[in-house]
A and B are shown apart, each in its own frame.
Chain A
Amino acid sequence: MKDWWNEDVPSFVVVGRVNAGKSATLATLLEVDDDEILRVSPTPGETTGVQPLPVVYDDEEWIRFFDTPGFQQPVEAMREIERLAAGGTPGPEAVRRFVDECGDRFPDEVRLLAPVAKGAGILYVVDPCKPLRDSFLAEIEILRWSGRPRLALLNPQGGETGHEEAWRERLGTAFNLVRTFDAHAARYEERRKLLKSLLQVEERHAGHIERVLEAMEAEWGQRREDAAEAIVDFLEQSLTLRTTDALDERDLGVPARRERKQAALAEEYFGKLAKLESRCLGRLLTIYRHHLLEPDVDPRRHRGLDLATEETWRKWGLNRWQLTAAGAVAGGAAGAVFDLGVGVHSLGAGTIIGALGGGTAAFFKGGQLPELKVKLGGGLKLKGGDGRSLVVGPPASPNFAWVLLDSMLLRYRGILARAHGRRDEARLDPGGDESIVRQLPGDQRSLLQKWFTSCLKGSPDRGREPEVFATLVALLEEVDG
């Protein structure tokens, strides 16, 4: 660690009691869920040395954090610093001497105070669920003596937070700012706020911190667009997906053979759909820097997107009345075109019949289980059944596309809700969440429905795709919030 310190880069050292959640705080703040880099564990003492964590954007380091081992003997260290001050009020000089001279007796304290002695700002992490003991007071005192910019973070680790007021009161006397930051639940907005708080305590490097904030916001916007692109790609590929197989004379003549082939194609269809889904979720996880979350997609069980379960079709996608309205609008529009075509001599009958037909079909078909469309393709019958093929997919229900979109949005929300400080491996399961697409305003539903229809017909509307993309970006922004 020869170049662990750089005067030109604003640095902040994360300190606190062993197992206070320092590493988890940094992991969440910097979105690192790799235990190789930041070890987060319920076992105390996982962090043994000072780990520099540079924040690099565009190949330039703009800010640096240090993860530290945590205080092990704060009371004794405080006494030692007081002794080094030789009766006077201890200050930065005494802390520096402590770092220089007491490495043997206080290895952990010296390690964590070394960057502080060099000039790093302090992020002091405490668990407000624990009572404010003397040892904590000693830590607070030592940090106060350092004279560096100080921000205290209350990181509740479960249980009663009945001591929070006492903590706030005490920390308020020794720290420039006190903030709450739940390292196991904080999302983008909380992370941004925490970085913004650094601006308030460290004026000298305001420019650097502001640049980090700007870059962070820009990158977040990029991620949202990348996610929208992944979802658009997934929807397009899924809605145009078909499985097909040639039929011979015997397949056409023996119904059982044809049904077997149909069943095999249906299985292949769902297998391919699961792969597409898995690829999209993988892209989303990469975009949001998650390695411990796993897309829960199994073509056999379809737990991720359980298309074979009736509940999926009830819970996700549009409800029956929304589907009916969407169907009526689409049918009415087609009828209106007919009315215009005949110079309105049909007196609007086309619009009415189209709306009624579209609405009725959607009403009755919308709740259907996902029966796959089966088509006997190839009109030309050459020798003995050659040229005929069986085409399977997509599901006939008009809700299919909405179910796909909903399931992806719900998992997107799950990805955003997962803090990087957590180290439990988990599966991305949309579970019992409520539908998101049902909350969409009518104009967005209508736009998406038109695009879905074009995709389901096998020819995605390229002209409409940019609008669909923009709508999805806005939708993801809402999910973010």
Chain B
Amino acid sequence: MAEDSGKWSLADLIDFETRLAGWEGRVDTRRSGKRGRAAVMRAWLESRGEGGAGARWVASLGLAGVLLALLAAIAGVGASWGTLDRELEGVHVLWFLGAALVLPWGLFLLGLMGWLFRGRVNRSGLVGWGIERLSLRIAGKRARQLVERVRRSGELAKVTAWRLARLSQWIAAAFHGGALAGLASMVLFKRVGFYWETTTERAMEGFLEQAVRAMALPWSSFAPWALPDVAGTRRGPEWDGGGESWWPFLLLSLLVWGLLPRALLAGFAGWRERRALATLTFQAPHHRRLWRALTEVRRGEEPEGPVDGALVIALDSAEPDREVLRPFLLRQLRMNPTGWESLGVLDAGREDAARRALARAPAGIVLFAEGWSLAPRQMENALREVMSRAGERRVVVLVDGADDDQRTAWGRFMDERSGDGVELVFHDGEEEA
């Protein structure tokens, strides 16, 4: 693995995908997202240990490429020698051009078509669907998962495709090179002749002359000697060798239209591969999950509920007007009524709810009574219950709509309990007492 954290290779990418496939969804170290995705993902990959299938896979790919190139070179030599008519000791130039140039480029075109139609192949009807299903069934579950993973991770697919494209061009170049070597060996060691033949009167000759002129355009201005005599090499019944003017043309054709464009295409594919590796965005859904786990900043929860929340407990089924009392409690008592409950009512459920709410009101408790409608013992019980749970919380007895006598009664009642720290407040409409 390269030291430079910004650089990725195909092997790294394969390692990354295989490790991500086995990732259990947890990360040990949080990372800053400021470094960018490529660097963060790289650091994560390194934290998961050195080595992996990537290097082996790339080495195998390279080895397979070398073997295929070797085979292609031998096939190229074979293609050249295959066009030699051993009886006539001559090479049919049309066959030679067809086997050494047209056929490989035809295959290239087919490959290109396949690539262009790649998105449509699996939707090309029942046959395409069936082939895909069958091949995945044969390949098995793991292969199916791998194919799906590569498909979803567009970047690995892209980089791999460019690597394969580069290899395929080098293999094709090896084929052209083999054909070139075969041609050279035939010329040097066999001193073969070159000819072409047709059943048409003039059509083929005209076409061949035009094709030769077009193909020789890159060198015809400075090497006119490498232009063959098309008319003079047409094989008739009396043909007896000759046509040597063809071999420089064929040689240069293989170089200019075979090796050179293949090398350029291989270079282009290599450049695209490097570019794809340098601009990895890691935006596939499973990459995003990892990114989130690695860089997520978790905002904490908000504090629970209001800290000034007060509980209002209505006594003896009194019904406080909340709309009127709320602003009074807020502004005059600086208490925020967040709960409204009742004590001293027939409904046991409501009483229980009030007792549970007593434990939750953080800021204070307001006991609400109307006039002096309670028996002193009942009021005492209620106060005792509230005080036993109030702790350090503020406790206020709020009396609504009390006349002078009732106020006096309340005042006397509270004076007897002055040690409790309970406040007595009167409310009469909008006024306080």
Q: CB within 8 Å of B: which residues of A?
A: 1, 30, 32, 34, 36-37, 39, 43-49, 51-59, 61, 69, 107-108, 214-215, 218-219, 221-222, 225, 229, 337, 340-341, 343, 454, 457, 459, 461-467, 469-470
Q: Say yes or no for B157: interface residue by CB 8 A criterion.
A: yes
Say how far B361's CB is from chain A's closest CB, in angstroms: 13
Additional A-B contacts beyond A39-B336, A222-B292 (11; CB < 8 A): A30-B302, A36-B306, A48-B330, A49-B308, A51-B303, A55-B300, A57-B297, A214-B34, A229-B288, A461-B119, A467-B283
- Neighbour of A58 across the interface among B152, B281, B298, B303, CB < 8 A: B298
Residue of B nearest to A50 (CB): B307
Q: B345 interface residue, CB < 8 Å from A?
A: no
Does A465 lie within 8 Å of B284, measured CB to CB?
A: yes
Contact indicator A49/B123 (Cβ below 8 Å): no
B119 touches A340 (CB 8 A): no
Chain B 316-351: CB-based contact to A (< 8 A → 1; otherwise 0): 000000000001001100111010000000000000
Residue in A56, A222, A463 whose Cβ sees the most chain B Cβ within 10 Å: A463
- Asked whether B363 is an interface residue with its Cβ less than 8 Å from the other chain, the reply is yes
Surface stretch bound by A, among B12-20, B83-91, B108-116, B367-375: B108-116
Q: Chain B residues near A46: list those with CB within 8 A.
A: 330, 336
User: Residue of B at shortest CB range from A18?
Assistant: B331
**Is the Cβ of B308 less than 8 Å from the Cβ of A225?**
no
B33 beta carbon closer than 8 Å to chain A: yes
Asked whether B285 lies within 8 Å of A465 as measured between CB atoms, the reply is yes
Kindly list chain B residues whose C-beta atoms are within 8 Å of the C-beta of A214: 32, 34
Confirm or deny: B154 has a beta carbon within 8 angstroms of a beta carbon on chain A. yes
Known A48-B330, A51-B307: A466·B155 in contact at CB below 8 Å: yes
Contacts of A49 on B, CB cut-off 8 Å?
Answer: 307-308, 334, 363
Give the secondary structure class of A's interface.
mixed
Q: Which of A52, A337, A465, A467 meets B117, CB within 8 Å?
A: A337
B113 adjacent to A341 (CB under 8 Å): yes
Let me know if B302 and A463 touch, CB within 8 A.
no
Q: Which residues of B contact A69 (CB under 8 A)?
A: 334
* Chain B, range 260-316, C-beta contacts under 8 Å to A: 281, 283-285, 287-288, 292, 295-303, 305-308
List 12 A–B pairs whose Cβ atoms lie within 8 Å, in order of A's numbering: A48-B308, A48-B330, A48-B336, A49-B363, A51-B308, A55-B300, A57-B299, A69-B334, A337-B117, A462-B151, A465-B154, A465-B285
Name the CB-closest residue of B to A219.
B297
The 8 Å CB contact of B33, one of A30, A61, A218, is A218
- Chain A residues whose CB sits within 8 angstroms of the CB of B283 once the complex forms: 466-467, 469-470
| Chain A: CB-nearest residue to B117 | A337
Contacts of B384 in A (CB 8 A): none
A39 to B151, CA, bound (A): 51
**Given A36-B305, A53-B303, are A454 and B119 neighbors across the interface (CB < 8 Å)?**
yes
In the complex, the chain A residue whose C-beta lies closest to that of B309 is: A36
Q: Mark B108-150, 1 if CB is under 8 A from A, else 0.
A: 0100110011010011000000000000000000000000000
Task: State A44–B331 Cα separation when bound (angstroms).
Answer: 8
A469 CA to B284 CA, complexed, in Å: 8
In this complex, the member of B283, B298, B336 whose beta carbon has the largest number of chain A beta carbons within 10 angstroms is: B283
A26 to chain B minimum Cβ distance, whole angstroms, is: 11
The answer to whether A37 and B302 touch across the interface, beta carbons within 8 angstroms, is yes
Complex interface: chain A residues within 8 A of B153 (CB): 466
| With A39-B306, A57-B297, A219-B299: A466-B116 Cβ-Cβ less than 8 Å | no
A463 pairs with B297, CB closer than 8 A: no
Chain A residues whose C-beta falls within 8 Å of the C-beta of B300 in the assembled complex: 54-57, 59, 61
Q: Which residues of B contact A221 (CB under 8 A)?
A: 33
Query: How far is it, in angstroms, between the C-alpha of A221 and the C-alpha of B363 when the chains are bound?
Result: 38
Q: Which residues of A contact B335 (CB under 8 A)?
A: 48
The residue on A at minimum CB distance from B326 is A43
**A470 contacts which chain B residues (CB < 8 A)?**
281, 283
Closest partner residue, chain B, to A469 (CB atom): B283
Q: Which of A37, A44, A466 contacts B303 (CB 8 A)?
A: A37
Assess the A469–B297 pair: CB atoms within 8 A. no
Q: Which residue of A lies closest to B333 (CB)?
A: A48
Taking CB atoms, residues of chain B closer than 8 Å to A58 are 30, 297-298
Please report the C-alpha to C-alpha distance between residue A36 and residue B30 in the assembled complex, in whole angstroms: 33
Please name all residues of chain B whose beta carbon is closer than 8 Å to the beta carbon of A467 when the two chains form the complex. 154, 283
Chain A nearest Cβ from B11, distance in angstroms: 21
Q: Is the CB of B299 within 8 A of A340?
A: no
Task: Give the shortest distance, in Å, between B126 (CB) and chain A (any CB).
Answer: 10
Q: Is the CB of B284 within 8 A of A466?
A: yes
CB proximity to A under 8 Å, residues B5-37: 30, 32-34
Query: Contacting A37 at CB < 8 Å: which of B34, B116, B298, B305?
Result: B305
- Kindly state the separation between the CA atoms of A465 and B287 in the bound complex, as whole angstroms: 12
| Chain B residues within an 8 Å CB radius of A61 | 300
Across the interface, which residues of A come within 8 angstroms of B287, CB to CB? 466
Q: Which residue of A lies closest to B152 (CB)?
A: A462
Q: Which residues of B contact A37 (CB under 8 A)?
A: 302-303, 305-306
How many angstroms between the C-alpha atoms of A268 and B288 in the bound complex?
33
* Chain B positions within 8 Å of A39 at CB level: 306, 336
* C-alpha gap A277/B66 in the complex (Å): 54
Nearest Cβ on chain A to B115's Cβ, whole angstroms: 10
Which chain B residues (216-265) contact chain A, with CB distance < 8 Å? Answer: none
Q: List chain A residues, Cβ under 8 A from B299.
A: 56-57, 215, 219
Task: Provide the residues of chain B in CB contact with A48, threshold 8 Å.
Answer: 308, 330, 334-336, 363
Q: Which residues on B sit within 8 Å (CB–CB) of A459?
A: 122-123
Instruction: State in angstroms the CA–CA spacing of A229 and B153 once bound together.
Output: 16
Docked CA distance A34–B295 (Å): 28
- With CB as the reference atom, state the residue of chain B lying closest to A457: B123
What separation, in Å, do the CA atoms of A362 and B178 have in the docked complex?
A: 52
Chain A residue at minimal CB-CB distance from B289: A229
Which residues, 158 to 201 on B, are CB-close (under 8 Å) to A? Answer: none
Shortest beta-carbon distance from B430 to chain A in Å? 14
Least CB separation from B306: chain A residue:
A36
Knowing A337-B117, A457-B123, A463-B154, the reply to whether A222 touches B296 (Cβ < 8 A) is: yes
Closest CB in chain A relative to B38 CB, distance in Å? 13
Q: How far is the CA of A176 from the CA of B285 in the complex (A)?
A: 47
Query: Are B306 and A215 touching (Cβ within 8 A)?
Result: no
| B154 in contact with A218 (CB, 8 Å) | no
| Cβ contacts under 8 Å, A52 to chain B | 303, 307
CA distance A99 to B201 in the complex (A): 117
List residues of chain B with CB within 8 A of the CB of A44: 331
Residue of chain A at shortest CB distance from B310: A48
- Alpha-carbon distance between A354 and B112 when the two chains are bound, in angstroms: 20
- Verify A1–B307 contact, CB threshold 8 A: yes
B330 touches A463 (CB 8 A): no
A1–B307 Cα distance when bound, in Å, is 8
Q: Is the CB of A215 within 8 A of B113?
A: no
